[in-house]
Structure 1
């Protein structure tokens, strides 16, 4: 792995990861950089990052990367800011894109643009999907680049679809179909038709609904929200109605961390969660 590749993907990116103002430790000719990394999904994440770091060090023997697994995204953010205020910030961090404005206000990160010098660098930065860059840029500067950009997707149990008389190879195509399918799949409170987690990353899962309603939640300056827009209201009402009106979804807070387990145990027939859980689903779902 080339030096530029690691420094600009693992280091500068994120699920909106951001490049921290970097202190470096130098000892006996070796530069050590710390890399804060959260673990929030199933799968051998730490092994992968260790392998990336080892590959980078092999190609760049004068640099040692120290991955530090700092907990969840929220815990990693707290630890990164604490280290920053204590004078020992990580050189690089993988953090959520929604933390960008806080990190800018705290003077904890620097724009990646300052490190983009060569034509190859510029080509690399321009290679990302524009949609993924929208919440990594503000004020004409780029503060993070996409890294492990997960997408919220619908997983469904094909066996339970068959039992309910549904086509196991056809997922609901719209809101109305999702409700109709969920009604056929719900069995009292022992098996819910669908679960959409509302802890952990509720704003992110909610965007899956609000975007379908053609609504944007905030502007790119980070100083205005659009929660009063009709599309946002419609999306929230739909989510609430899944449990309150249609009775196909658990009431109250649905936990992010336990929703995959509920799916594996057939306590819900459909679930919304991240593509980052795909390995977890493949390894633990004993059904197609």
Structure 2
């Protein structure tokens, strides 16, 4: 009899435990978080670490981190999920994807979700690609500017002061000539993937940006645009300090780290990668000026998607709050090289100590004073392709600057015509 009672008791306890586990599983809210990995380093592991820390603090929420590859590949996967009726809760996508996402009416406005003091803590240059008028539609997360990386050892070999990088276009040519040898280029500027972004820096240094703030106009054929492109072309054609034709985005950091080039234009998002792998002393500086300093901002923002259950929405907002705490923003900046997007992050003990030991980490932040928005328009993918193709055709000798940029302006105006008021 006692044996049967024991069996019944065990069975009863098993059923109770199973029920508890079932209830516990039902209480867990799962959210999908799409994320690109666009630069060197170990960012995927860092995201997994942040997710684990969040889940430990919030055992009732499970975050499914989906790594989509490049920004464009991630955008494709996200939009496929949205169109399939299964939108993710959150995604980090290009800040310049804003107009495309608004056009498709798939993201939720962020303005009512956070206090005014919260948004005031973000740098204005990053907020420019995050809002339309007074409406905030995304949160700056992994953001960047373009900076100049230079090999101090190569500077010494060429008789240049390793603590005095080039400050203007003339000095950039002068330094690059001294640094160019039979087996080494003085400078590399990538011309694939984000060539419009590299070009924007030269245009901003000359006069101004290449599009309107409302995303409805472009200025590809403006005099300052053509002047910027002529200078870029001259670096390889006239001054012979840079390879002719196409220079791949992904190989430029490798060339710099291996000593094939002495200077490079690249995203500050590669700073930690360079810091970890350079076997030489290197420096980081503002991009050299023409009439003024200038760089476009870049990188990704966090977007919250529409048409998700309320409990998922609340969990997603909680995850955004976690990711954007000053301490987390500081950690992200240190581990990746991206600019910390909140001013308060630089007041944390961790980041303030880091930049004191490694002042190069402040260059991109300080350059924000001269930064402006990355190219963002309606039908942005199509407009970008038009302009990227124009830049490529010039650099590869297929077209003159006038031919390519006038044609790009006409094609872009056709694409943007439906959005004119």
Give the deviation of 1:108 after TM superposition. 2.1
Aligned positions of 1:128-207 closer than 5 A: 128-188=122-182, 190-207=183-200
Q: Aligned residue for 1:96?
A: 94
Q: Aligned residue for 2:417?
A: none
Contact in 2 for aligned 1:110/1:143 (Cα 8 Å)? yes
CA RMSD of aligned residues (A): 1.5
Give 3-state SS (helix, strand or coil) of 1:234's partner.
Answer: helix
Q: Aligned residue for 1:63?
A: 61
2:118 aligns with one of 77, 101, 124: 124
Give the deviation of 1:27 after TM superposition. 5.4
Divergent runs of 4+, >6 A: none
Please give the TM-score of this superposition, normalised by the length of structure 1: 0.85
Q: Aligned residue for 1:87?
A: 85
Please give the TM-score of this superposition, normalised by the length of structure 2: 0.59
2:31 aligns with one of 33, 41, 52: 33
What are the superposed Cα offsets for residues 73-95 of structure 1, whole Å, 9 maximum, x if unpaired? 11101111111111112111111
What are the superposed Cα offsets for residues 22-64 of structure 1, whole Å, 9 maximum, x if unpaired? xxxx951111111100001112211221122122222222211
Give the deviation of 1:204 after TM superposition. 1.8
1:245 aligns with 2:238: yes
Query: Structure 2: how far apart are the matches of 1:114 and 1:176?
Result: 48
Contact in 2 for aligned 1:39/1:72 (Cα 8 Å)? yes
Q: Aligned residue for 2:256?
A: 263
Moved more, 125-134 or 203-212: 203-212
* Structure with more of its chain in helix, by fraction: 2
Give the deviation of 1:148 after TM superposition. 1.2
Query: Structure 1: how far apart are the matches of 2:95 and 2:164?
Result: 33
Unaligned runs of 5+ residues in structure 2 are 1-23, 282-421
Larger Rg: 2
Q: How many residues align?
A: 258
Q: Aligned residue for 2:73?
A: 75
What are the superposed Cα offsets for residues 114-172 of structure 1, whole Å, 9 maximum, x if unpaired? 423xxxx2211221111111111125421112111112111111111111111111110
Query: Structure 1: how far apart are the matches of 2:176 and 2:168?
Result: 12
Higher relative contact order (CA 8 A, sep 6+): 2
Contact in 2 for aligned 1:217/1:225 (Cα 8 Å)? yes
Contact in 2 for aligned 1:137/1:143 (Cα 8 Å)? yes
Contact in 2 for aligned 1:215/1:229 (Cα 8 Å)? no
Query: Structure 2: how far apart are the matches of 1:172 and 1:48?
Result: 34
Query: Structure 2: how far apart are the matches of 1:150 and 1:130?
Result: 13
Unaligned runs of 5+ residues in structure 1 are 1-25
